[in-house]
Structure 1
Amino acid sequence: MSTQDTRIYLASGSPRRREILEQLGLHLERIHADIDETVRPGEDAVAYTERLAREKAEAGWKVVASCGLPERPLLAADTTVTQDGEIFGKPENADDARRMLRAFSGRSHQAITSVAVRQGDRLSVKTSVTEVFFKPLSEAEIERYIDSGEPFDKAGGYGIQGRAGVFVERINGSFTGVMGLPVHETALLLAEFGFDLP
């Protein structure tokens, strides 16, 4: 692949997504795309995550088109955590983070990441669902984790690649999907748009 082919737009401010894509050899240009992330009545976690990834890609593509930027693929993604049908977004405050971590303690939950790629009128979406098993957490462990400040910008109130990695007994699925960008699904999507990774 020539350097020219490795450039894509990224409609995400996530440092984790940027890092994963750069490790795959891609060169990224950040596109700012704001959408309403409110869950719709009756919407399940997969439908919600796929809709947000699609809407982020569409909003990002409008920015690319309105700015007259060169046409190249734009990638957007959304990660949601769910358990027993409840969607856990980013915690609003320490009490909310506490509630989430207590819910996951000693149980499994699902981390869902949907990836969308848009170029011109083409839009493709793929979704990764990973079962994450937490060990039982003591109140002291929960408080130490909240005090670290790590839970607050992450769906479900934790990041598997950070300190919360010690809470995870095992996963069934994609580690990078739990981080926020499933590499396997992302490579399949980008292949549809002419990218051969790695």
Structure 2
Amino acid sequence: MSEKTLFITGASSGIGAATARQAVQNGWTVGLFARSEDKLKALVDELGDKATALPGDVTDFKSVKDAVDKFADQVGGIDAVYANAGTGLSAPGTEAGDPDEWEQMIKVNVMGVLWTVKAAMPHLKKRKGHLLLTGSAAGRRHIAGSVYGASKWFVHGYGGNLSEEMREFGGRCTVIAPGMVDTPFFDEPKPDKLQPEDIADAVMHALKADSRCAVNEIFLMPTQ
């Protein structure tokens, strides 16, 4: 059996980078997809020959598909894909919200997930593979006027639907749903909140689960 392979979006920092580090430590070969070519190159320099930089834009289907196909060709197939890329909003609520900002967020948080899944599915089907999506505590409760939260409700609903679809060929889908995480997503550090490594732990737990066990969702919250 060849080494397991994992393709990660939003891989240049935060949760994506932490997951790449843990995956490599656990013997996985990783394909790292994000817009920041410089950050990806630095991460590959750190991780070595088990990592490949695949710069691209998650809001462009061709960009995602080309990267997924390139990684699959390079490593001989894909065992798992982590649709992790996401973005938030600076103006909260509906009345005060910025429609242009909403549109960009939907492109990343909704269409970016769809493009990643669409590009990945043929490869995952070949290996009874595993799909992971970054959801959020904001996608499990109602927050006054939150358009961001609604985008994560989509991820949770779609993830459940994917679990049913992938069951047909022996595949699995897991939604990783964290509360507040100390990542570049926020302007100010949040040292008392979850760390990216906590989310990476959850990803690895889902990936390591026996094939008889479908881990449909992991919900993590900071204790503080």
TM-score, with structure 1 as normaliser:
0.38
Higher helix share: 2
Which has more radius of gyration? Answer: 1
Q: Relative contact order, CA 8 A, sep 6+: which one is greater?
A: 1
